[in-house]
Amino acid sequence: MNLILWAGLALGMWPNVFAIYYLDRKEIFQPPTDRDLRSNSYFGYSVTYFEVDETLVISAPREDNIGVVYTCPIENRTCTSINTTGIIKRLFSNYTHDYWFGATVKAGRDFVMICAPRYTTLFKPPDVPKENFTHVTNGRCYSYTALGGLKERMPISEERRRNEILDYKAHPETAMDSFGWSIEVTPTNSVIVGGPGMYHGRVMRYKSPDIHAVPTLLDKACSWKTCSARSTGKFNFGYAIATGMFIKTELSNAISSKFGTTGKGRVLFYDSKKYLNKYIEDTSHVGSMFGGVLCAARLYGNRTDLLVGAPAYATKDTYNLGAVYVYLSRNMSHVPEFQMRILGKVSGSMFGTAIINVGDLNGDEKDEIAISAPFEKDGQGVVYLYSGADLIKYKKDSDLKYLQKIEADEKYGESFGMSLSPLLDYDKNGCKELAIGSPYKNTVVLLRCMAAVKVETSNPEFYNLNIRNNSQIKFAFEVCLSVKYPTLPQKVIAELLTTVKITHDKLFDFNGKAVFTNVTSLEEKRPKYCSTFSLFLPEDGLYESQVSYTVSTKLLNHPATLPDFNSSRVILSDLSVLKKNDSVWVNKCDTCVVILTLEHYISFQHEGNPYIIGSSENETVRMTVHNIGDGVEYEPCVRLSVIGVNVLATPIGCLYEDFAGQNTLLCKGRKPILPGNKWTTDAIVLEMTQLTNLDKNIIINVLSFDNCGDVDTKNESITIRVKSDHRGITTRGETDIGPIVKMTQEDIENNRKVMQHIYTITNKGPTNWKNLQVLVNLPTKPYIKYDDTPIKIYHSTSNYNCDCRFLSQDKTSKSYVCLIESLVKIVEYAKIQIPIYIAPGTLDGILKKDENVTIISSVKLKFSDDTKVERIVTTIMLEEPEAVPIETIIIAVVVGLCIVIITSVILYRVGFLQRKKREELEKLKKQVKRQTILRRSTMPSQAPQTDDQTKILENMEEENKNDQTQDLKTD
């Protein structure tokens, strides 16, 4: 390769674009032009790829009031409706609602499942007169093949349907279902169909694709009348379904209830027949439609992870923003654990309406995920593509970057992304194509996928740079590209431009800078391509500064920018390493003898004493390299791998690199070590909080290099013993109604006594605990009864019950062993609850006045070198009715009399009855007055006064009458 100097080269002249799907030309699918569809027929509401025929199956569920499903060959994009004559018909003319045939279409290996969830039929209960038969909605499902056409699948048997119905006379809606709003075809070719729209929702399962197979209902954990919040979903059960190895290594089914039991969505896990008593739920938002869509993917390991859509999620200042929750299957026996939440970008966009797994597109052995926001961009719709590797990292939502943003064109830009479907590599280039439905515009868009190769650019390899003689002024260096190809396509078209920029103050003839380029074609599909360049140095070779270089690689003629799609053209994976920066030293010596020694400082290593787990949050490690050789400076390099804890912070000059299949930390000095000097790394901070009692050692493996990149290494393995501290784990026991329980003879004979022994286990020590084994001992007496599950253990931060297993039983007691999987210090605690019942009549003759009954239970915490025991003692005593003493009666009588006397005195003092006395006094005064006047009138006088006397008597009589009238009124 000749030396080429590019004086004014701009490295950014080639586009650095990363795109998975080719957007320049989109393949459009629409209904036949000779068919006059109504505007809201929703062509594209559901889409699936039928690999056997290489066709898209597209539904228009509101067309013709029944629904129409089309088969659309990809080669010519001509859509033809599936013939439903004589198979789907309206049985009752009075009911003209849409059947929604094609509400969901789902392809299996050699068939397509299509359902009509609003199909109407006549319900005929055996004990009801014919004239009282009821029209009900019962979803119907059909199986389609190219040769056999459309065939109706068997519905739920009438007997099974009647067994499921609670009371169809009082509640006729219990006779209805809506099977077909969701469909899942499992890897075993069985079909699970959800009917969330009627009476809480139901789910049925076809064991095989045979059209004669009779489906069975997935048993719920309880009837709809008795479902509790801890058992199963109560609203819209069966809204979405996904299948995978979510728990252990067997297939299980995730089934959503988008409003759960209290408005918060819930996802429940089932095997092929029954509920596994495990679920996940949205614990913070009501009405977010959590579980509106489910997607199974492989992100974290060999098991299946789960993505849950909540398209109605909203924050305080937004509405229908939408969110997608990522759950990873880390623990073999638990449901997938929450990892992160991806939020929508715009209010009203309903981000997460559709989520699909499009497979591994970039070669990292993790599935990529497509998520739609069908009402973003003023209702036009957007589809986002995310890297599976990014979804398993602990990132804030704001830091998560998408791989590609796919926007709709204006001509079909309305509800774009309402449905998504992957195509299983139609054009044989190793990655899945993507079909996107825009049902408000009766359009489906097909995007072709561009395969990706992973390219890693190496650091330049300089030959004999630091052991040259004085006559050497020209040096060669080599730059290599390592390429990892996907299995397909078989033919690869790509050209890579590699640019090397060398910088040094005394670079010969190039004014301190030189640029080298090379174009590499990947047509031969070689795993490695190398190019050699020449570097000129001054003859004296004595430098005080390093030779710096930058190596970068670009893709020429990116296929996303070309007018035509070619399935052989590849792009560069986002995992590619396309740029390297570093520097090297130039040294001079005749005979270079290197002697480097390694010394380490570990803050938590104390000779003879183990490290107590949890005694600190962080610890540090420092490495020191001594150069005790002669005549040459050497670049110090130390490579570390830490087993047992994570590295929380790394100093400047330390980077993570893969080495021998391990993720190691490579630390380099800022300059070479002169003879007789040393170099010490800055503090490498270790995170100690993740240690638990299960950990026994922390191992630090150290490799030191004579020169960075040399193969001559020295290794050392340092083991630090760690020990758990259980002294802070305490148990407190109590009886919920008190340690002494009193019972009367009436209680003994007729009433049941209920109590609970409650043990609270807390961890106030330094060590986080896992798999704490608890031995529970319960007394066995004729008068003591327990639940079928006698021990209930509740964890403070988890929604699962800990497991308890029966161990043994003798005449006086029985034992259980329970496992508390996690007990984080300070934060977590566990409660052991033992309900105890004493049935009526069982203590008769046993509990007496002078003979108490004692109930004793105990728990024993088992540690590796110790045990702790806590007991609860409950004493039952007989309570007899007490007679009232005579002294008490006498005191009560005396107190009553005193109260009566005091009350009388008070009433007299305030003038009670004084009004009546005043009225009697007034009458007396009037009588005295009349008698006085009468007496004076009868006395003798000197002149006759007959007329005056007569008048006086008449006045007195009149006055007397008035007084009597007034008295009557007063009375």
Any domain includes 922: no
**Res 226: pLDDT:** 42
Single residue among 584, 608, 633 that ends a domain in this structure: 584
Residues 6+ apart with CB under 8 A from 190: 205, 206, 207, 208, 272
Of 704, 723, 742, which residue constitutes the final position of a domain? 723
Same domain? For 484 and 512 the reply is yes
In a domain, 914, yes or no: no
Q: By three-state DSSP, how is residue 580 classified?
A: strand
Tokens representing 949 are: 């006397």
Token representation of residue 882 = 């007490």
Q: Is 187 helix (H, G, I), strand (E, B) or coil?
A: coil
Q: Which two tokens stand for residue 101?
A: 């045939």
CB 648 within 8 A of CB 802: no
Token pair listed for 259: 């409003």
The strand pairing partners of 515, in sequence order, are 501
CA distance 117 to 106: 14
By residue range, what is the domain housing residue 563? Answer: 453-584
Q: Are residues 567 and 622 in the same domain?
A: no
Same domain assignment for residues 819 and 833 = yes
The DSSP element (H or E) to which 326 belongs, if any, is strand 323-328
- Residues 666 and 803 placed together within one structural domain of the fold: no
The three-point CA angle 421-251-364 to 5° equals 55
Considering the domain architecture, whether residues 483 and 564 belong to the same structural domain is answered as yes
Residues 628 and 692 occupy one common structural domain: yes
Residues 676 and 691 in one domain: yes
Q: Which of 405, 293, 297 is nearest to 359 (CA)?
A: 297
CATH at residue 653? 2.60.40.1510
Are residues 630 and 574 both part of a single domain? no
Q: Does this model's pTM top 0.75?
A: no
Pair (793, 849) in one structural domain: yes
**Nearest one of 400, 396, 344 to 375, comparing CA atoms:** 344
What's the number of domains the chain is made of?
Answer: 3
Q: What is the CATH number of the domain that holds 466?
A: 2.60.40.1460
Rounded distance, CA 461 to CA 480, Å?
9
What gap in Å lies between CA 426 and CA 424, rounded to an integer?
6
For residue 399, give the DSSP letter: G
Domain-embedded: residue 517: yes
Distance of CA 864 to the CA centre of its chain: 35
**Which amino acid is it at 807?**
L
Closest CA to 284 of 253, 316, 255, 254: 316
Tell me if 656 is assigned to some domain.
yes
The residue length of the chain stands at 971
Backbone φ, ψ for residue 11 (5° rounding): -70, -15
If residue 960 lies in a helix (H) or strand (E), which one and from where to where?
Answer: helix 946-970
Q: Which ranges in 502-632 belong to alpha helices (H)?
A: none
Residue 333 lies in a domain: no
- Across the beta sheet with 513-521, the strand order is 513-521, 495-503, 547-556, 579-584
CA–CA distance, 652 with 72 (Å, rounded to integer) = 58
Q: What is the DSSP string of 106-159?
A: EE-SS-EEEEETT-EEEE--TTS-GGG-EEEE--EEEEEETTTEEEEPP---HH
C-alpha to C-alpha distance for 561 and 494, rounded to whole angstroms: 13
User: Per the domain annotation, does 519 fall within a domain?
Assistant: yes
CATH of the domain at 864: 2.60.40.1530
Q: Which of these three, 676, 693, 723, is where a domain ends? A: 723
Same domain, 654 and 735: no
Phi-psi region of 86 (alpha: psi -120 to 50; beta: other; left: phi over 0): left
Domain match, 787 and 713 both: no
- How do strand 443-449 and strand 419-423 relate by DSSP bridges? unpaired
What tokens were used for 850? 């002078």
Of the CA atoms within 13 Å of residue 131, those in its CB half-sphere come to 0
Strands annotated E in 737-851: 740-743, 753-763, 769-779, 792-795, 803-809, 813-823, 829-838
- Per-residue burial over 233-247, b if 16 or more Cβ lie within 10 Å, else e, is bbbbbbbbbbbbbbb
Residue 766 and residue 857 share a domain: yes
- Of 232, 344, 246, 345, the C-alpha closest to 299 is 246
Count of CB atoms situated within 10 Å of the CB of 825 = 18
Question: Along the chain (971 residues), what's the average pLDDT of each consecutive run of 10 residues?
Answer: 30 42 93 83 97 96 93 94 90 82 96 95 77 83 94 84 60 80 94 89 91 84 42 77 92 92 90 88 87 96 94 93 95 88 95 97 91 96 95 77 93 94 91 96 96 92 60 75 93 95 69 82 96 72 66 94 93 92 66 73 90 93 84 75 90 83 82 81 92 93 72 78 92 94 89 94 92 94 92 79 84 93 86 93 87 94 90 91 75 89 81 61 72 62 50 58 54 49
Q: Is residue 71 part of a domain?
A: no
Q: Looking at the domain assignment, is residue 104 inside a domain?
A: no
